[in-house]
Amino acid sequence: MENLNKWSNVWESRTNALTKMSHIDLLKVSGYDNHRSTLYPWSLECAQDYYWNLINLKDYESVYEVGCGCGAFLLPLYNDNQKVGGLDLSNNLISLAKINLPLGKWEHGEATSLDTAEKWDHLVSFGLFFYFPSIEYAEDVILKMLEKANHTVSIYELPNLDLKEECEQMRREDNANYDNDYKDLPHLYYSKQWFIQFALKHNLHLMIFDQLIPKYTNGKYRFCVVLRKNM
């Protein structure tokens, strides 16, 4: 859990101004703020059109995000009057979500503390799973997400283990002090094969696709999965 606490401290330090913000500023606070990781509202929403069509999201259905941060990922749905909510380890980011998406349900806590008693139609996570300390921890979180979801669990922004060396080299070229700066803040990489085995083990329908956000450099090293219980 030490790794999670260190990352949590990083996010707490980024959110000094607890105020109403534009969508792009919420994305920046969430860490999408340099030339390889910048996310623009238009490019994110372009990808989300695909995401929501893939899970057949209805306008009356609810969407809950694990690792929701300040609500930047769910803001377009919120603006369309969709029921949204989420859980995050950062107090400051949850405070921002409450300010900027006041009608959502925002909860502070660790991903493994997810309350599975209250059901939501779709569970999602965007840009969270690379902060986890181990694959075993990730599996625990996914199982809780599946228990909480009525329909689907979608996990976006998964670092691709097959592209780890290429991705790490890109990060070193971008930051000369990368190895020192991130010595105690590693990213966790995932194998697509692991998700195939996970789906088989738990009798789940699985969809895997590469990240498809336009003008997003990190996207070529990431993939996404959608899990659905077999009927």
Q: What pLDDT sits at residue 112?
A: 95
Residue 144 has pLDDT above 70, yes or no: yes
| Per-residue pLDDT tens digits for 90-141 | 999 999 999 999 999 999 999 999 999 999 999 999 999 999 999 999 999 9
Residue 7 has pLDDT above 70, yes or no: no
152 is written with which tokens? 């689907």
User: Domain of 123?
Assistant: 2-229
| Per-residue pLDDT tens digits for 27-83 | 999 888 877 788 999 999 999 999 999 999 999 999 999 999 999 999 999 999 999
Burial class (CB in 10 A: 0-12, 13-18, 19+), 170: middle
CATH code, domain with 167? 3.40.50.150
Instruction: Give the separation between CA 48 and CA 139, rounded to whole angstroms.
Output: 24
Instruction: Give the separation between CA 214 and CA 120, rounded to whole angstroms.
Output: 29
Question: Under a CB-based contact definition with an 8 Å cutoff, are residues 100 and 19 in contact?
Answer: no
Question: Under a CB-based contact definition with an 8 Å cutoff, are residues 15 and 72 in contact?
Answer: no
Q: Indicate the number of domains in the chain.
A: 1
Q: Which distant-in-sequence residues (6+ apart) come within 8 Å of 63 by Cβ? A: 57, 74, 77, 82, 83, 84, 85, 120, 121, 122, 123, 124
Q: What percent of the chain has pLDDT over 70?
A: 87
Residue 22 has pLDDT above 90, yes or no: yes
